[in-house]
Amino acid sequence: MHNLLQGKRGIIFGALDENSIAWKTAERVHQEGGTFVLTNAPAAMRLGNIAALASKTGATVIPADATSVEDLEKLIDQATEILGGKIDFVLHSIGMSVNVRKGNHYTNQNYDFTEKGWNVSAVSFHKLMQVLYKKDAMNAWGSIVALSYMAAQRVFPDYNDMADNKAFLESIARSFGYFFGRDKKVRVNTISQSPTATRAGQGVKGFKGFIAFADKMAPLGNASALDCANYTVAMFSDLTRMVTLQNLLHDGGFSNMGVSQEIMEMFE
């Protein structure tokens, strides 16, 4: 390892189990010398094994509902006290669609579910950054990263209203990122990751078929959760100090492909 995050402090949202990108990122941050607080919603924590990750990485777990400004304020206050100073990095790895869970087609949404989904998946990112900004809780040249997906720009029919949530998330990153950069010298980016076999990803209809399709389309194949964790570590490090307001495509080249020879051979 390279001690890329030696002396840096942060908060990681969304670690659930060993397959999650947030989990892999926490492990890699720990290996690179960073210290952090882990957080997730109390309901989500009951589904995973975040205590095992905390034990492995020496992290403290603070339950928080990311849609609650009050919870986020308490989280930031406790995290800075536990870590002994301001925050250098934050990972927002949160996404949820009740419509997807309930099997509601995109053309037949329950709008109460829609509102809950964009609140969890996107507005929570604004609330988080607003609390960090108002509390002046980030060190200069800190890094905030949220995880996105290319359905924010292109049509993937079964991704449902999560596509809208990710588009909203990326817009928030750019808009709030401007003010965070100008006023605090903090950078804000999203990473648009390959389809990844996380618990949330596998909840999307037809996921197994699509992950196989994407793997055949991308010249490098799909980026794994560990690959994404490594990229996130790079974005947290001082090596990327001048990168902000970007949606960073991390997908093995899939996003620039029209069709691959492997896919064409399936139809010939």
**What does the alpha-carbon distance between residue 231 and residue 87 come to, in Å, rounded to a whole number?**
19
Instruction: Dump the DSSP string for 139-194.
Output: EEEEEEEEEE-GGGTS--GGGTTHHHHHHHHHHHHHHHHHHHHHHH--EEEEEEEP
**What does the alpha-carbon distance between residue 154 and residue 167 come to, in Å, rounded to a whole number?**
10
Residue with tokens 């002396």: 7
Q: Is 94 known as a binding-site position?
A: yes
Question: On the CB side of 237, how many CA atoms lie within 13 Å of its CA?
Answer: 18
The answer to the question of residue 72 being in a domain is: yes
Q: Are 45 and 224 in contact (CB under 8 A)?
A: no
Q: At residue 137, what are phi and psi to the nearest 5 degrees? A: -90, -5
**What does the alpha-carbon distance between residue 203 and residue 248 come to, in Å, rounded to a whole number?**
24
The answer to the question of residue 2 being in a domain is: no
The answer to the question of residue 3 being in a domain is: no
C-alpha dist (Å) from residue 82 to 8, 50, 237, 243, 244: 13, 18, 21, 29, 28
Q: Is 56 known as a binding-site position?
A: no
Number of domains making up the chain: 1
The answer to the question of residue 4 being in a domain is: no
pLDDT reported for residue 216: 95
Residue with tokens 């809780």: 137
Q: Give me the CATH number covering residue 110.
A: 3.40.50.720
Please give the chain's pLDDT, 268 residues, in tens.
799 999 999 999 999 999 999 999 999 999 999 999 999 998 878 777 999 999 999 999 999 999 999 999 999 999 999 999 999 999 999 999 999 999 999 999 999 999 999 999 999 999 999 999 999 999 999 999 999 999 999 999 989 999 999 999 999 999 999 999 999 999 999 999 999 877 665 666 677 888 999 999 999 999 999 999 999 999 999 999 999 999 999 999 999 999 999 999 999 8
The answer to the question of residue 1 being in a domain is: no
Q: Is 97 known as a binding-site position?
A: no
Those residues with Cβ within 8 angstroms of residue 136's Cβ, 6 or more apart along the chain or in another chain: 86, 184
Structure tokens at 45: 């924590």
The residues annotated as belonging to the active site are 149, 159
Those residues with Cβ within 8 angstroms of residue 51's Cβ, 6 or more apart along the chain or in another chain: 61
pLDDT reported for residue 200: 64
Rg (CA), the chain: 18
The model's pTM: 0.96
Its domain, for residue 50, covers 9-265
Q: Is 21 known as a binding-site position?
A: yes
